Structure 1
């Protein structure tokens, strides 16, 4: 299974904000869209990712002023990425080794999507369920 197959099962809309967007506006957007993170973009360039976790950390450090802070001052800067042909195992390794919950996906230098640890776990569970079904059919003699 590849990262491309994970993206194919997700909505194609990427939620992004500008670096100047306030944390309060990002929090409202995450709540309205029922998502855990937004991409911080300058034009077509990915600068970083601002997640619910990032907002909570900022709140712990700046309890009274986080809502008015800029997204780029709170986001996690772009550090790691993957590509469409990466395997599920490669994506899991990148996410685990770098302790990230969101992984941007690039193809030919262009942002193709964003996968979350939840997307990866869901794909892995689906893969295991498929293997169990096939093994059960094989053992029972059904073809």
Structure 2
């Protein structure tokens, strides 16, 4: 094995955690919007929740995702009226999804390869959550924070043992 291929043990543990584990810690709150809602209503909902995407649901079915990028490229750039445009007209249909059993590393690869920032998470075909590129990055870096604190404690003599 090339030494560049080896991951530090704490990083390896973080990226091999499943999305199910990440969602248990992050929470499973999912912000949604109906396809018939206006873009203006959806954007207000996103601003209020301070989020970058809404899952578009028709009943229990995921029919799309509406993101900040959709607002910029399909509404603003095309000079559409947000108060008159329906989410269904400008959402991203058939969003890329991942399963709850996928690892953080696999999800990061999907985000990178598909160039999307938000991934709906499904379990046995049922929507159970949403993870963002930021969630994935935070999950991995939190392991580094613990490791750094352990090193600081060791150096300063506060390390148990």
Structure 1 length as normaliser, TM-score? 0.87
SS in 1 for 2:135: helix
**Count of residues in correspondence between the two structures:** 143
In the alignment, which residue of structure 1 is the partner of 2:122? 106
1:42 aligns with 2:50: no
**What's the CA shift for 1:93?**
0.3
1:78 aligns with 2:94: yes
Of the two, which has the highest radius of gyration?
2
RMSD after superposition? 2.2
In the alignment, which residue of structure 2 is the partner of 1:6? 22
**What's the CA shift for 1:138?**
8.7
1:127 aligns with 2:143: yes
**What's the CA shift for 1:117?**
0.7
| Distance (whole Å) between structure 1 residues aligned to residue 80 and residue 125 of structure 2 | 39
SS in 2 for 1:21: coil
In the alignment, which residue of structure 2 is the partner of 1:29? 45
| Distance (whole Å) between structure 2 residues aligned to residue 91 and residue 53 of structure 1 | 20
**What's the CA shift for 1:7?**
1.0
Please say which of residues 32-41 and 72-81 is displaced more in the overlay.
Answer: 72-81
Classify 1:48/1:64 alpha carbon distance in 2 versus 1 (closer, same or farther; 3 Å): closer
Deviations 1:19-57 (A, max 9, x none): 111000000101111111111011111011101221121
2:131 is matched with which residue: 94, 104, 115? 115
| Distance (whole Å) between structure 1 residues aligned to residue 46 and residue 19 of structure 2 | 23
**What's the CA shift for 1:134?**
5.9
**What's the CA shift for 1:11?**
3.5
SS in 2 for 1:35: coil
**What's the CA shift for 1:10?**
2.4
Classify 1:107/1:33 alpha carbon distance in 2 versus 1 (closer, same or farther; 3 Å): same
Classify 1:65/1:86 alpha carbon distance in 2 versus 1 (closer, same or farther; 3 Å): same
